[in-house]
Structures are given as structure tokens and as C-alpha cells.
């Protein structure tokens, strides 16, 4: 039984934490509750847990809430709440720790009130529910998140799950090597000797720097190659692209659409419509879907 209309959605990124109350009845974010804080992903475990907890409590304030639903990057044991992130230059100090228990202690709630799911799956769940892929809710949709890492997900029959393709062999390494913010910084430095802090700053150079423009076109080519393999595996009706890098979709999107359109003209390529709000909605939506599944199984064990 659900005892509250309000739940906390949290998006845990490689450089930030964003949280907000989600009104489950209205299926909307309570915009006045939105909170965001920068995170040092190389910090000690206690510092990271404290920062996440503070951001969550900033959104909660005095509201009566149900579960705290976190969209977490992988690899991660979401059911048990244990971080498996290692060798990814983020959250190394959390490896092997039970994050559910640590957060529950900080937030002073039972560990059973902490729910975690893959961040890419939460993103896709939110976009199918109320965003860019809403018209494909009865079909198969694949989604990716582009940021400090590469997330991938598949939506089928009302639920989204992690596709876990970040480590798929790709060119001379793995997919994440070519489809994350680090690649942009490295590639632009190779071409110009100039170091930019991030993709946002590089995007601002496109109108005056041909090499910056070239980097985005190369990225579009890499992304198209990756998506063509993903599409061949799942045969979706649509592809949804999110994450912070998707904010620069105009700089690489045409290359992606052109390459995919030549082989799969019926598949739509959609950049995220909801942004961070979609991840928060999707985290709570994923919790709600799994509660429904548990309820069905308890009433109908053969289900």
C-alpha cells in the first residue's frame, strides 16, 4: 500500500547530485523542491554520502514522503545497494560499500525505503512515460545517456532495464572511451594542443574554431556506429538520447540521423525532452512499476 503521494527522486551523476519531490498522483516534479549540488566523485566515501544526503534533505524539507528513489550509474548491485564502480575515475572510494545502508543511516530512514536503479534505465523510463518517446510507449525503445560515462537502456512492455553496453568493444577500446566527455577533451587537445574543461565550453567554440566543429562531427560518427549495433540487437521503434552531452545535440545530431536513416529510415532519433526531470520521474516510476510487479506476484504466484 502506498501511504504518500510524494516520493524523492535523485539523479546521481559523475559531477553532481540532483533531487526533487515527485508527486506520484499528478506524475509531476514539484518544481519548488528541486535541489542540485556539485559532487567531488574522487572524495572519500563519507564526504560523498554526506553530500548526497544533504541534497536529498534539501528537496524533502518537511514533506511527508515515501521511498527515496535514486538513479545511479553502474556498474552497481542495485538490489543489494552495493557499488561496483571501479576503474572509471569516479566514486572509486565507494567500491564494495553498501550505499543503501549508508544513506539510510544518514537520512534516518529504513534501508527498505531506499530504492536504486540504473540511471540510464531511469532516464529512458521517464522519457517514455512523459517525454520525447511517449508516443512509443507500446513499442521497444532504446536509450543512451552521454556524460562522464556512457549509459544504455532498453524499454519493453512497460519497463526499462540497463543494457550495460558501456564496455562493449568499440574501435580500439570500448564504447565509453569514444562516447563520453573525456573523449571530447582528449580529442580537441590532440588536434589543437588546447585543453578545455568540458563539452559545454567546447560547444561554445564551434562558431569560431573549425577543429571544435570537427570534433563534434567525429563524435556524431562514433555515436552512429554504436547506435547501429545497438539497433541491430534490439530492433527498436525509436532511439532516445540524453545526458549532459545531449544538450549539444544540434552539433552532432544530423550526422547521427543521416547515418541511421540510411539503414533504418523508420526509426526516430529523439534527444531528451525532459532532461534531469525525466531521470527523477523515471526513478520513482521504476520503483512504482516494481512495486506493482511484486504485488501481482504475491497475489498470483504463477505470474
pLDDT digits (tens, 9 = 90+) for 237-277: 999 999 989 999 999 999 999 999 999 999 999 999 998 89
What are the residues facing 52 on neighbouring strands? none
* Mean residue pLDDT across the chain: 92
pLDDT of residue 298: 54
The C-alpha angle with vertex 135 and arms to 282 and 248, in degrees rounded to 5, equals 65
pLDDT of residue 3: 53
What the block records as the C-alpha cell of 298 is 504475491
Burial annotation 114-134 (CB, 10 A radius, 16+ → b, else e): bbbbbbbbbbbbbbbbbbbbe
Q: Is the pLDDT of residue 32 over 80?
A: yes
* SS3 sequence of 58-106: HHHCCCCCCCEEEEECCCEECCCCEECCCCCCCCHHHCCCEHHHHHHHH
Per cent of the chain over pLDDT 90 is: 79
What the block records as the C-alpha cell of 129 is 512515460
For residues 129 and 26, the answer to whether their CB atoms sit within 8 Å is: no
Q: Is the pLDDT of residue 2 over 70?
A: no
pLDDT of residue 302: 44
- Per DSSP, the three-state class of 238 is strand
pLDDT of residue 194: 96
What are the sequence ranges of the domains in the chain? Answer: 6-118, 132-271
Q: Alpha-carbon distance 12 to 120, whole Å?
A: 11
Please give the CATH architecture assigned to the domain spanning 6-118. 2-Layer Sandwich (3.30)
pLDDT digits (tens, 9 = 90+) for 273-297: 998 899 999 999 889 888 877 664 5
Q: Is the pLDDT of residue 110 over 60?
A: yes
Expressed in percent and rounded to 5, the helix, strand and coil fractions of the chain are 45, 20, 30
Q: Alpha-carbon distance 288 to 25, whole Å?
A: 11
pLDDT digits (tens, 9 = 90+) for 204-220: 999 999 999 999 999 99
Q: Alpha-carbon distance 207 to 103, whole Å?
A: 45
Q: Alpha-carbon distance 102 to 98, whole Å?
A: 6
The CA-to-CA distance between both ends of the chain, in Å, stands at: 20
Residue 179: pLDDT band (50, 70, 90) is very high
Q: Alpha-carbon distance 201 to 182, whole Å?
A: 13
pLDDT of residue 303: 36
CA distances from 274 to 23, 188, 267 (A): 16, 29, 20
Residue 300: pLDDT band (50, 70, 90) is very low
Does the domain at 132-271 match CATH 3.30.1330.60? Answer given as no
Q: Alpha-carbon distance 203 to 48, whole Å?
A: 30
pLDDT digits (tens, 9 = 90+) for 144-156: 999 988 999 999 9
pLDDT of residue 103: 97
Q: Alpha-carbon distance 182 to 298, whole Å?
A: 46
Same fold, 6-118 and 132-271: yes
What are the residues facing 69 on neighbouring strands? 9, 115
Model-level pTM?
Answer: 0.85
Per cent of the chain over pLDDT 70 is: 95
pLDDT digits (tens, 9 = 90+) for 10-20: 999 888 899 99
pLDDT digits (tens, 9 = 90+) for 71-94: 998 889 999 999 999 887 789 999
Phi, psi of 276 (to 5 degrees): -60, -35
Phi, psi of 188 (to 5 degrees): -65, -35
Amino acid at each position: 500500500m502506498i501511504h504518500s503521494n510524494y516520493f524523492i527522486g535523485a539523479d546521481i551523476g559523475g559531477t553532481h547530485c540532483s533531487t526533487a519531490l515527485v508527486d506520484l498522483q499528478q506524475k509531476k516534479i514539484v518544481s519548488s523542491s528541486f535541489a542540485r549540488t556539485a559532487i567531488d566523485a574522487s572524495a572519500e566515501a563519507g564526504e560523498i554520502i554526506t553530500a548526497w544526503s544533504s541534497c536529498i534533505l534539501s528537496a524533502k524539507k518537511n514533506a511527508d514522503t515515501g521511498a527515496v528513489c535514486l538513479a545511479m550509474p553502474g556498474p552497481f548491485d542495485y538490489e543489494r545497494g552495493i557499488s561496483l564502480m571501479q576503474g572509471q575515475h569516479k566514486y572509486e572510494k565507494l567500491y564494495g560499500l553498501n550505499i543503501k545502508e549508508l544513506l539510510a543511516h544518514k537520512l534516518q530512514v529504513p534501508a527498505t525505503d531506499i530504492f536504486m536503479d540504473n540511471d540510464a534505465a531511469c532516464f529512458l523510463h521517464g522519457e517514455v512515460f512523459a517525454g520525447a518517446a511517449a508516443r512509443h510507449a507500446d513499442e521497444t525503445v532504446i536509450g543512451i545517456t552521454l556524460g562522464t560515462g556512457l549509459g544504455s537502456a532498453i524499454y519493453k512492455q512497460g519497463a526499462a532495464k540497463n543494457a550495460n553496453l558501456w564496455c562493449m568493444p568499440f574501435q580500439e577500446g570500448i564504447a565509453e572511451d569514444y562516447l563520453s566527455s573525456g573523449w571530447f577533451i582528449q580529442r580537441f587537445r590532440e588536434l589543437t594542443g588546447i585543453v578545455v574543461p568540458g563539452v559545454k565550453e567546447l560547444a561554445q567554440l564551434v562558431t569560431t574554431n573549425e577543429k571544435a566543429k570537427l570534433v563534434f562531427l567525429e563524435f556524431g560518427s562514433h555515436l552512429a556506429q554504436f547506435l547501429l549495433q545497438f539497433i541491430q540487437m534490439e530492433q527498436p521503434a525509436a532511439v532516445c538520447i540524453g545526458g549532459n552531452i545531449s544538450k549539444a545535440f544540434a552539433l552532432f545530431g544530423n550526422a547521427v540521423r543521416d547515418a541511421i536513416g540510411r539503414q533504418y529510415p523508420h526509426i526516430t532519433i529523439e534527444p531528451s525532452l525532459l532532461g534531469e526531470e525525466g531521470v527523477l520521474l523515471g526513478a520513482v516510476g521504476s520503483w512504482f512499476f516494481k512495486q506493482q510487479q511484486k504485488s501481482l506476484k504475491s497475489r498470483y504466484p504463477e505470474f
